[in-house]
Chain A
Amino acid sequence: MATPSLLLLLADGRFPAGAHAHSGGLEAAVAAGRVTDLVSLEAFLAGRLATAGLVGAAFAAAAHRVAVDGAVDAAESADAVGSTARTGMLARSAVRSCTLAQLDVELDARTASPTLRTISRRQGRALLRAGRAIWPDAPFGDLPATSDGVHQPLVLGQLCAAAGLSRVETATVAAYGTVTGAASAGVRLLGLDPYQVQALLVGLAEACDGTAADAAQAADDPPERLPAAAAPLADIHAEIHATWEVRLFAS
């Protein structure tokens, strides 16, 4: 089991994976005049949590499940055919790789915006670099070998499994990350009172836990049935943001 400190380390915005450089679509929403104050920031965060937050947490939880349970399922089927320990290990890895590749294309199909796909893969690559350095023995080699990176929630799920976090803890780290990044961007973009923004996050904590619990449960479903909550403006904001020459945040 993970220690509480490991959970805190992974959820920390200072974890070296570049999360602080992203506003989760808030910068474009502010520029479009849609988020102007604490009230509209709160509505933004609630909507983001219920859409991108739920989907990201469910895919992180599903990738965690592959790392933890996937190994068990495959071991049982390998033992059933009486294979040796070495072929059993290879079969386990092959099953994990196959499921992770399937999760990767399923997440593509849930990310209509090409900019959001690129950002998720870029963030996944940064997180994987950190993960490989910190847990050199973890089976990150099971992740698909795509040239532009693996979707961030998949890497996060594998990383949390390597740290010994539970599935619900993994989903919590993912859901939490989708709101805290945007909230602290709100302080910078709108000059909001950081105490008020923090109070807003405290108010969202219960919804965040609920989203994580839903996501962790959804991870029992096959990849095509995982949540697909859509937000038209998230796609539109991401694409307008990508056209800017000068911006404070990478997304």
Chain B
Amino acid sequence: MRALARLVARADGRGGTVLVELHSETPLLLRQTPTDDGVATVHLVGGAAGPIAGDDLRLEIEVGPDAAVRVHTVAASIALPGRPGAVSRMAVRAEVQAGATLHWLPEQLVAAAGCAHLAESRIGLAAGASLRWRDELICGRYGEAPGGAVVHTQVDYAGRPLLRQSLAVGPQAPGWAGPAVLDGAPATGSLLVVDPSRPAEPAYVRSDVTAARLPLAGGPATLWTATAPDAHTLRAHLTG
């Protein structure tokens, strides 16, 4: 399947946010859900199983000056194998203007056996923009070794590179399950918090050496990174 969905938000001038564009294409169905905190909240509903290798899915998000948007998904997405040699791709592009906030808090991505998936996010933040961006990857369904999955995240803040990371798991990624990368942890993820109103917090490591808080160099930003035995424990590490 191929799909391009698009979300454009603007401040309404009264402290709230209005969605001036909410374009869905199956299987990327965007649904606004009511909230009372002035943050426009959208749930991404998977309109089909997958992504299945061969799918090419794109989501564009634009948050105008002083607007605030929160995006959730209703369920984990499960990357599945398709025809041999095909790759599934989920590309998210987000632009967040000054004074605006984007919360991207989806459910987990599960890399099923035999999958070949690329999750690619490119986020441009203007100076003075805020962001909470969470990525969680589960390596295989229960008791299963994952196929190939790459989670690539590229974030710029005020035109300067803030974060570039590409986590690769599966048979094509040497040593991914070893002690230099995940040490057999089936769940891993990160939460990036960009908040120009708060100084970055100092580095901190959990005493069981499975999660850390890392102040970044390129802007007012902190990255939480974690490995965990399951999705539930991982989420507890990534609430910031």
Contacts and interface: CB of A to CB of B under 8 A. Distances in A.
A148 B203 CA distance: 18
A115 interface: yes
Contact of A239 (B183, B205, B217): B205
A105 B218 contact: yes
B180 A106 contact: no
A235 B214 contact: yes
Given A229-B168, A230-B166, A47 B175 contact: yes
B73 interface: no
B165 A113 contact: no
Contacts of A229: 166-168
A35 B179 contact: yes
A48 interface: yes
B28 interface: no
A106 B161 CA distance: 6
Contacts of B164: 106, 109-110, 224, 228
B contact residues, range = 35 or more
Interface in B162-179: 162-168, 173-179
Interface stretch (A38-46, A79-87, A125-133): A38-46
Contacts of A109: 155, 161-164, 216-218
**Per DSSP, are chain B's interface residues mostly helix, strand or loop, or mixed?**
strand
Interface string A104-145: 011011111111010000000000000000000000000000
A51 interface: yes
A32 interface: yes
A65 interface: no
A15 to B, nearest CB: 24
Nearest to A25: B180
B58 interface: no
A231 interface: yes
Given A50-B175, A105-B161, A240-B209, A231 B217 contact: no
B19 to A, nearest CB: 30
Contacts of A35: 179
A229 B168 CA distance: 7
B160 A47 contact: no
A117 B179 CA distance: 21
A9 interface: no
A112 B179 contact: no
A232 B175 contact: no
Contacts of B204: 239
Interface string A93-112: 00000000000011011111
Interface stretch (B6-14, B35-43, B45-53, B220-228): B220-228
A207 B179 contact: no
Given A29-B180, A43-B180, A44-B179, A232 B227 contact: yes
A248 interface: no
Contacts of A110: 164-165
Contacts of B216: 108-109, 112
B212 interface: yes
Interface in B192-240: 203-205, 209-212, 214-218, 223, 225-227
In this complex, which of B164, B180, B204 has the most chain A Cβ atoms within 10 angstroms of its Cβ?
B180
Contacts of A114: 203, 214-215, 217
B225 A117 contact: no
Contact of A232 (B155, B163, B182, B218): B182
A154 to B, nearest CB: 15
Given A112-B223, A224-B161, A224-B164, 5 more contacts: A29-B179, A44-B175, A50-B173, A106-B161, A114-B203
Which 6 pairs across A and B sit closest by C-beta, in order of nearness? A47-B175, A43-B178, A47-B180, A46-B175, A34-B179, A109-B161
